[in-house]
Chains A and B, each alone.
Chain A
Amino acid sequence: AQKVTQAQTEISVVEKEDVTLDCVYETRDTTYYLFWYKQPPSGELVFLIRRNSFDEQNEISGRYSWNFQKSTSSFNFTITASQVVDSAVYFCALSEASRDDKIIFGKGTRLHILP
Chain B
Amino acid sequence: DGGITQSPKYLFRKEGQNVTLSCEQNLNHDAMYWYRQDPGQGLRLIYYSQIVNDFQKGDIAEGYSVSREKKESFPLTVTSAQKNPTAFYLCASTATGSYNEQFFGPGTRLTVL
Which positions 49-79 of chain A face chain B at CB distance < 8 Å?
A: 50, 52
Quick one: which of B87-110 are within 8 Å of A by CB?
88, 90, 92, 94, 96-97, 99-107, 109
Of the four ranges (under 10, 10 to 19, 20 to 34, 35 or more), the interface on chain B belongs to 20 to 34
Given A91-B42, A91-B43, A103:B102 Cβ within 8 A: yes
| A6 and B103 alpha carbons, distance in the complex (Å) | 22
Count of chain A residues with a beta carbon within 8 Å of a chain B beta carbon: 24
User: B88: which A residues are within 8 A, CB to CB?
Assistant: 43
Contact between chains at B101 and A106 (CB < 8 Å): no
Main secondary structure of the interface of A (DSSP, over half): strand
Q: A47: which B residues are within 8 A, CB to CB?
A: 101-103
CB within 8 A of A44: which of B97, B101, B106, B109? B106
What residues make up the interface of A, taking CB atoms closer than 8 Å to B? 4, 9, 32-33, 35, 37, 42-47, 50, 52, 91, 95, 100-103, 105-108
A-B contact pairs, 15 of them (CB 8 A): A43-B107, A44-B90, A44-B104, A44-B105, A45-B92, A46-B104, A50-B100, A52-B99, A91-B43, A95-B99, A100-B50, A101-B94, A102-B45, A105-B35, A105-B43
